[in-house]
Amino acid sequence: MFLSVRHESYPNLDTLVVNGATLGDLSGTNLFGENVQHKHLSLVNLSTNSISAFDSATFKALTVVEYFYLNDNSLLRVGKDPFRFSYGHYFDCAAKRLSISTPKLITHVHSNDAVYVPLMDQNQNFNFRWNKRLRVLDISNIFSPSVPLDERPNMISEMFSVSSNEFIDLQEIILRSNSLTSIVPETFCKLPSLIRLHLTNNKLTSFAFNDGCLPNLKVLDLSENQLVSIPIRLWDGLPVLNTIDISSNPLRCDCSLAPFIERLSKTSSSSLNQGRTTCAAPASRKDRVVFEITDFDCSSHHRLLVFALVVLFLSAAFMLARAYLGRIRFTHLPFIAGYSKLGENEATAGPQFV
């Protein structure tokens, strides 16, 4: 199917949509054929194709893809650097520059265009020129049901965190419905331009990220997860975040959640689907809209905590004082062991018989 889709036959192809096929394992080879590139193909939709594996070789023909949809497949395995999208050098004829370290080349030079120089020996040391145009990547519901839940966060993380691609223009990642139980903190650290991150309908109990990562994230969708509370660090660690969705989570509306909601209410940031952002606990607030709660009653909670600490301190002080006084009294008692205090001349009374 894909081998017939060559640049020579479709020189101006900019959109490719293939759905409903059974493609299986695509790893180890260029999907479109060896040495094939599509220089104008900017949108590729390969969703719902039962893709079970891909790696750095699979999509290397997509050197200028901007919108890439791989959602609803059956991924079992993913190789290193799967979104590399390129496999050779380019020669800038206008600048007359070519940095090559091997003589085994085939070159094709046309006018002043950027020209591809294919790699002839896989053992040669080449520096790849990456496709830096990727803007939107949809990998929602990408896993096969047989992939264990505890392996999925690492598989997602390795797609980006160990990649050599700089992803300088990747602005949106869609990760819906992957049953993710956690996020590896360094997953998105190599995505400096990421603006929108969609994590809806997973199993997240928290959203972890390393300090300094996601400096440009503006939109975060955490709806339909398993979040009970959201720490204030989410605001402090994401400096330009202005839109968030925490709806359809089992939120516990108590003092641990209050700082986050108060910060959200006081800033210009917006919360999506506020009507569906309700409390799951405590029972007195169940099903109430979080943003309609004006008093989380944290002052009484604070007073109770202070009172408990004072009682604990006084109890400890009383026990220490009692132990100290008891020790003083004990040191002044005479030492009596057996009959050692009987006079030496006093005879010990013998047994009497009646």
In Å, what is the CA distance from 157 to each residue of 79, 81, 82, 183? Answer: 12, 11, 12, 8
pLDDT digits (tens, 9 = 90+) for 56-110: 999 999 999 999 999 999 999 999 899 977 644 444 344 334 333 333 333 333 3
pTM here is: 0.75
The SS3 call for residue 52 is strand
* pLDDT band, very low/low/confident/very high, at 147 (cuts 50, 70, 90): very high
Give the neighbor-by-neighbor strand order of the sheet with 43-45: 15-17, 43-45, 67-69, 136-138, 172-174, 196-198, 219-221, 243-245, 270-271
For residue 282, cis peptide bond before it (omega within 30 degrees of 0)? yes
- Chain CA centroid to CA 44, Å: 25
Residue 206 has pLDDT above 90, yes or no: yes
Domain ranges of the chain: 88-125
Nearest to 317 by CA among 305, 327, 325: 325
Contact in structure between 217 and 237 (CB atoms under 8 Å): no
Q: How far apart are CA 102 and CA 120, in angstroms?
A: 9
Q: What share of the chain is helix, strand, coil (3-state, %, to 5)?
A: 20, 15, 65
Q: How far apart are CA 65 and CA 134, in angstroms?
A: 6
What does the chain come to in residues? Answer: 354
Greater model confidence, 196 or 325: 196
Residue 199's pLDDT is 99
